[in-house]
Amino acid sequence: MVITEIFKSIQGEGTRAGLPCIFVRVTGCNLRCTWCDTAYAFHGGKKYTVEGVLDAVRALAGEGNGRISLVEITGGEPLLQPETPALAEKLLAEGYTVMIETSGERYVGVLPREVIKIVDVKCPDSGEPDTFDVANLGELDKKDEVKFVIASRRDYEFARDFTASHKLAERVHEVLFSPVFADPEGRWPGLNARELAEWILADSLPVRLGLQLHKFIWDPAMKGV
Ligand code: SF4
Chunked into runs of 10 residues, the chain (225 residues) has average pLDDT values of 97 92 98 96 98 98 96 98 98 98 98 98 98 98 98 98 98 97 93 97 97 85 79
How many Å lie between the centroid of ligand 1 and the Cα of residue 64?
Answer: 35
* Residue 32 near ligand 1, beta carbon < 6 Å: yes
* Residue 20: per-residue pLDDT: 96
Enter the DSSP assignment of 7.
E
Tell me the C-alpha distance between 214 and 107, whole Å: 28
160-183: burial string, b at 16+ Cβ within 10 Å, e else: bebbeebebeebbbbbbbbbbbbb
Q: What is the pLDDT of residue 9?
A: 96
What is the 180 CA–ligand 1 centroid distance (Å)? 13
Atom of ligand 1 nearest to the CA of 103: 1
State if pTM tops 0.85.
yes
- Evaluate: CB of 151 within 6 angstroms of ligand 1: no
Cβ partners under 8 Å of residue 180, min gap 6? 35, 125, 149, 150, 151, 188, 189, 190, 191
> Is the CB of 179 within 6 Å of ligand 1?
no
The number of the ligand 1 atom at minimal distance from the alpha carbon of 39 is 8
Distance 124 CA to ligand 1 centre (A): 14
Residue located nearest, by CA, to atom 3 of ligand 1:
76
